[in-house]
Chain A
């Protein structure tokens, strides 16, 4: 039986020669969530960002997230381009500021489901202060942080997550700073749900994303992803698949893992899994409880700031 697959942007046709007929298959469900009129996307072959988006969209579908209430907010970077490809209310903000933008969005209309999807540099370097305080306040936003160990959009400069000793365009002889252990950091700040997966672990990643939608409060999922063009190439992983092989080899999922063991050093294991799953009142909940208690009837129950 000879088969050829012809794809246009709306349907896939499987032409089966011996039956001499055309079967119309269901289109990929992920397409429904993408702005297909913006495809082709800007990401390089072998880039891990698209893989994470695939898991994300499947998680949205599985978790039955009400799409009309879903907002995806990004900062600036290759990872920051995610919001622009999703066919939902999408906000591409400024470098590092996706979290405070999302804070305004969520607090002004608590009925929205607000996701922040951005890069490691964006969220933890220039946006680090906002990451601290949104987690501390327990703002009900879902953060997906694509960690490709580098500033990709601008050409492969070192990031706070660049493993010590690896090469970056601004660290041509090797980077000599300690890398930020993101799960440990956000745990200390107060995040209610923390997980880390690599793009090799798509099913687990999708499951974590689903869990995070069901969770209230500040959740943080770190996705370790290859950037063959600007990190891999300079650090012995010529293609995306080489970095994926490394992820497969060095990833360790252990019982009772703790975030303090999640530091990433070159050549050493990468600890993956769910680290934290706990309950804390969100900022809005504690604000509402507190004012009710202190102000009694003088408190005007807050439902949203919309006009």
Chain B
């Protein structure tokens, strides 16, 4: 399916990441956005509020982030592509509805323009401290998909990707931006609508009476329907059988949660996007994502100038985590250097996957400022000696 020509803002623009995210959502077919203002994400919904009346969409400023995060599930079951946008404190309020969307297999997109935490923390300054929260913040075991753009162009491209993945896997998908990427302006190329590939919702062809939201499988992902199509569906966050009926037994729970996890894990190769630069000949591999990856590139260049064999691995997809790739590399390189604006959330993942076979060092901070490239270079130099 192609994007809607009337809505796509085709052209070469100079825009910030927040605006590019808004344009990406529009191109992806999103016509329902619920949000609550919070720095540094507000610009996304401000632009949505401007653009939507002219393209047939609805923006509603809800009473809080709890409401926003469940309104998008409601809109999604009505058949809309739906999104909410927030930052740290608002994201904390949304946790219960990540689990609800996972359990009910509701396609929807959460955008988090990360700032420094905990609590009100650093409203106007960047952070990458919600990476684990989007993975584990709701109670229970589950898998989600999270992407991390490092430029306004990617804010556009990956927002579309988030919507596409949400439809393909019936799962909430996260665009984990950060304040720097959200507020920096760069060239953004928005292609013509007929060059933008859009994943449609995978609707059932079963007749009313036969169909339930969880029994018409396409691999591990069930086809769906929308409210008003005559299927009399029952959607619940309780553990349910494939009719959607509550069934609170350990066995049904095991079967359900197992599938919810496997539908993502078994498709990791299809989902994961990595950007690699000279990783194959490297002794040291720098792992980074989001805005940190851009300064990390500078640190890598400095190290290469000193003759060190350093590769760069950028996580465009943060979750599911590229476990296999890290394992493979751990067998043949000396060390990983992880650069991120938190106290080692991804660094610990790299440690977990390398299982002691490669050294793992972090260039970490508490958010608030991007790393000086020298610091990254020094850590690289330190592990290599």
Task: Give A contacts to B, CB under 8 Å.
Answer: 35, 37-38, 68-69, 71, 73, 83-84, 87-94, 97, 100-109, 111-112, 129-130, 132-133, 283, 287, 291, 295, 298-307
Contacts and interface: CB of A to CB of B under 8 A. Distances in A.
Nearest to A284: B58
Q: Which of B62, B229, B233 has the most CB of A within 10 A?
A: B62
B133 interface: no
A101 B233 contact: no
A132 B68 CA distance: 15
Contacts of B53: 291, 295, 298-300, 302
B70 A109 contact: no
A49 to B, nearest CB: 16
A307 B78 contact: no
A38 B241 CA distance: 12
Given A69-B228, A97-B67, A104 B73 contact: yes
16 contacts: A71-B228, A84-B234, A92-B236, A94-B237, A97-B96, A101-B71, A102-B74, A103-B60, A104-B34, A104-B77, A108-B75, A130-B67, A305-B75, A306-B31, A307-B31, A307-B80
B230 A300 contact: no
B71 to A, nearest CB: 4
Given A38-B245, A92-B234, A97-B97, A105 B78 contact: yes
Given A90-B234, A103-B60, A104-B72, A306 B78 contact: yes
B79 interface: yes
Contacts of A94: 70, 96-97, 100, 237
Contacts of B137: none
B78 A112 contact: yes
Interface string B22-39: 000000010110100000
A133 B70 contact: no
Given A68-B228, A92-B235, A307 B54 contact: no
A92 B32 CA distance: 21
A108 B234 contact: no
Nearest to A74: B236
Contacts of A109: 78-80, 226-228
B66 A100 contact: yes
Contact of B234 (A35, A295, A299): A35
Contact of B237 (A92, A299, A303, A306): A92
Contacts of B72: 104
Interface in B84-106: 96-97, 100
A108 B80 contact: yes
Nearest to B238: A92
Contacts of A133: 62-63, 67
A204 B182 CA distance: 56
Given A69-B228, A94-B96, A305-B58, A107 B32 contact: yes
Contacts of B80: 104, 108-109, 304-307
Contact of B227 (A89, A92, A295): A89
B56 A302 contact: yes
Contact of B235 (A91, A302, A306): A91
A104 B70 contact: yes
B54 A305 contact: no
Contacts of B323: none
A89 to B, nearest CB: 5
B232 interface: yes
Contact of A305 (B78, B97, B229, B238): B78
B328 interface: no
Given A97-B70, A299-B53, A301-B56, A91 B230 contact: no
B373 interface: no
B79 A101 contact: no
Contact of A100 (B71, B78, B245): B71
Nearest to B4: A307
Contacts of A287: 58
Contact of A129 (B67, B76, B97, B234): B67
A216 B56 CA distance: 22
B67 A105 contact: no
B218 interface: no
Nearest to A300: B56
Contacts of B315: none
